[in-house]
Structure 1
């Protein structure tokens, strides 16, 4: 047994040594191989899933304004990307936003550290993995989930923006899921900001050329993503987006009220 598998956290549970399960909770939920006893056990999994939602809602319901920051767990302290994560976390905290990350090492740790050292509120939403990845030491509030889809719901429900720093498959998953939610109107208040033009430039060019040329996205879809290298601009982009959305909401409410008043006036005239 390797050193990294000596501890496993699964939600509120902690396993040590030989007690560590061979599979994760997500694997057991999604794997359809084996006997058909899943027919009898899956309904009971709903209770565990429900409890994770309750725990997440209970932890985050009073957080206030928050921004989810995504990035690689493999980013090392002392590297430019780690320093970038610290600056982003600090600027968000100074602007009054709580910083929510996946709670792990690397960029996540950097953003949590920057937020905490700037006097802000630092939150970590961890996940049970086959290898141990404990919550980093710069978190004021944290929870470790068993199920990815529950964790992703928390990122979306309690954030007002997504900030995406350089990362791998997990970061790409979080990026494209967030863009899809905005594109389809499932969420309406989520500016998506990519930090690092050199890292993200090729991907953005591919979106603007190949995807658009093939007609698989709409002409306005590339504008759902903003790219910057400046942590101060990250905050400004988020602020401007929220001001624009607030104005839109105000205008929609005004039009609705005028329409209601006009309808009431017409009814009175009759």
Structure 2
């Protein structure tokens, strides 16, 4: 008979007392759950290795959260690419130029802080507009000089915690040709978008002038994955494939032209917008996207009662719909249509 490894009410009360003694007054329920999980691991008899992984991962996440906290209100783009790309490669220049273009528009550029494309992006953005999330590897022990200049780097032991921070904080992504690591990061992004585990964001595949690197991947997706029914035929449509720095930067910023954010309230999806669509525009959206709904229609709305905790967006116009869960991967198409509405004013993403 297995022993009871649940955390007792008495221990939970003691943990809450520790939280109070520490002077913590916000989100105490979540802090208590973190502490109770730690106690639970001890009650489970977790191995020392498992406990070391847990401790290191939690410490890394704390360090990364603190690293990004001062820039919470600044839009960020993560640029992925190979550490092996040399400065004389045209794609190195492309990465530097797109980073510079976005930095000029007020964005910060997040990279893995290493050499190659990561250094190119940091050089383009400049040290004041660059943030790094490096990985401890035997052959990449220190961040590149641009990131190191203002000590804007957090070092990670684990790839999974690093990947979390490279994705979590950004409102757009640019991938340039790279190897296993770059493709891993790209497919992680696509999986998160396809499954609805992450909110829709713009993803650009930027190539060297006249390059065919990403077109090869597109053909594979069409001829093998989609043709075999392993992905939906339009899954690759969420990406922009381009060799134009200007088009890449415009794709990242244009995604936020009218769309601001989304929130699920029960089975209803709420899209927060910058400009209220007209009756005719809503009618067109229903004609185009009605097949994605489980019931009802796309309707205009003010803030729902459940959104009362988001005061910053209280006055924004909304579209409310009941989206079929299986269609969550198609949200990017609806957002693009919302951004194309005639009254959309343009803007930058707000802090999440």
CA distance in 2, matches of 1:85, 1:239: 16
Say which of 88, 93, 103 aligns to 1:83. 93
What's the secondary structure of 1:125's corresponding residue? strand
The structure with more helix, counted as a fraction of residues: 1
Residues in 2 aligned to 1:78 and 1:255: alpha-carbon distance in whole angstroms: 53
Aligned in 2, Cα 1:129/1:38: closer, same or farther, shift over 3 Å? farther
1:13-162 map, 5 Å: 39-63=47-71, 64-116=74-126, 120-139=128-147, 140=150, 141-162=152-173
Q: Deviations over 1:143-168 (max 9, x none)?
A: 11001111111011110011001111
Matched, 1:180 2:194: no
Measured against aligned partners, the alpha-carbon deviations of 1:117-158 in whole angstroms (never above 9, x if no partner) come to 7xx511111101132342001114111100111111101111
Rate the CA distance shift 1:153–1:234 in 2: closer, same or farther, 3 A.
same
Structure 1 residue aligned with 2:202: 191
Measured in 1, the distance between the counterparts of 2:108 and 2:200 equals 16
Moved >6 Å (runs of 4+): none
Give the whole-Å Cα distance in 2 for the aligned partners of 1:153 and 1:258: 30
Which range moved further: 136-145 or 106-115?
Answer: 136-145
Specify the alignment match of 1:255 in structure 2: 301
Which runs of no fewer than 5 residues in structure 2 stay unpaired?
1-44, 262-270, 277-297, 307-352
Show CA shifts across 1:82-103 (max 9, x none).
Answer: 1111111111101111000110
For 1:39 and 1:190, locate their aligned partners in 2 and report how far apart those are by CA, in whole Å. Answer: 39
Contact 2:202 2:239 in 1 (8 A): yes
Q: Could you tell me how far apart the structure 1 residues matched to 2:141 and 2:176 are?
A: 19
* Aligned counterpart for 1:225 among listed residues 212, 215, 239: 239
Kindly indicate whether the alpha-carbon contact (under 8 Å) linking 1:189 and 1:245 is maintained by their aligned counterparts in 2.
Answer: no
Distance 1:259 1:57 in 2: 30
* Residues 113 and 259 of structure 1, relative CA distance in 2, 3 Å threshold: closer
- Is the 8 Å Cα contact of residues 68 and 100 (structure 1) preserved in structure 2? yes
How many equivalent pairs are there? 222
CA RMSD of aligned residues (A): 2.4
Say if 2:114 and 2:140, in contact at 8 Å, map to a contact too: no
Once the two structures are TM-superposed, the CA of residue 205 in structure 1 deviates from its matched residue by: 1.5
1:259 to 1:68, Cα distance in 2 relative to 1, 3 A:
closer
The 3-state SS of whatever aligns with 2:198 is coil
Q: CA deviation at 1:253?
A: 9.3
